[in-house]
Amino acid sequence: MSSERVPVELCKGINGLEKVVLREVRGSSAEVYLYGGQVTSWKNDHGEELLFVSSKAIFKPPKAIRGGIPICFPQFGNHGSLEQHGFARNRVWSIDVDPPPFPTNTSSRAFIDLILKPSEEDMKIWPHSYEFRLRVALGPGGDLMLTSRIRNTSTEGKPLTFTFAYHTYFSVSDISEVRVEGLETLDYLDNLQNKERFTEQGDAITFESEVDKVYVSTPTKIAILDHEKKRTFVIRKDGLPDAVVWNPWDKKAKAMADFGDDEYKHMLCVEAAAVEKPITLKPGEEWRGRQELSAVPSSYCSGQLDPQKVLQCS
């Protein structure tokens, strides 16, 4: 390969599936499979992988890819009559060669626009016309930005209602050394207790057993502090009021064929989402949901992280 980094490259990935590789000048990179429109890799400028993908992930349609950033649309989880997490994550997306203009230009050349439209088969299980445009972009500092634009293209006057999540799997050193800041004192729906509503206590969230919660009306910024790696992930989100926090722990991990028995120790899903209040679009209306991920060194003070600093810094 030449010394100049090609910002966007289409190539073959695992099992011959097409993928797009994005590269930023300073060395960060991302990979997006057209299958699922799914980001499967995000590396910083030291080449360290920041997302978790299971060693047992099955890169073979129609199975969803276990890890990275699956797109949950038009249904999150079992909130509806469709298959778990909807069907966008196991459809082949197309490269969108002529996307409508963005209100803000992507400052980097390392981005790709994908589009998903319903097939005739899709219309049978979910009879709605839409265009789902996804832009995946790498910022100059290695930040990863995903912007989804979903438009109701119905010509029959039919509204469109959906739930949504970026099901991001973060790579962590040891789940027992991780804490999440920004969700304290908020209400959540506990998927392990029949979606019953509870209120989170005032402390940062730490992990010692299975967790599957939908936090509602969350701030636009959430931090994941990895004590051992001295790294903090910051999630900034827009148009996505909820945040799902998930780790399967040991029993569920063993029950998943495409997930290693001990891999739960090295991953955490914190998902920017719109679940509690489904989104409804009239014909011609468009919804936009965006998440921006950054990884920054944690600042330590006598072994403690100062979460307020993390959440206040831009």
What are the catalytic residues?
A: 167, 271
CA distance 176 to 27: 30
Structure token pair of residue 261: 């028995």
Q: Which residue is listed with tokens 């207790």? A: 193
Length of the chain: 314
Residues 237/145, Cβ–Cβ less than 8 Å: no
The 3-state DSSP composition of the chain as helix, strand, coil percent (nearest 5) reads 10, 45, 45
CA distance 150 to 244: 21
Handedness of CA 301, 303, 308, 310 (dihedral sign): positive
Across the strands, what pairs with 209? none
| Alpha carbon distances (Å) from 178 to 37, 226, 308, 312 | 28, 5, 16, 19
CA distance 96 to 307: 39
Q: How many CA atoms lie within 13 A of 92 on its CB side?
A: 7
Structure token pair of residue 221: 């910024």
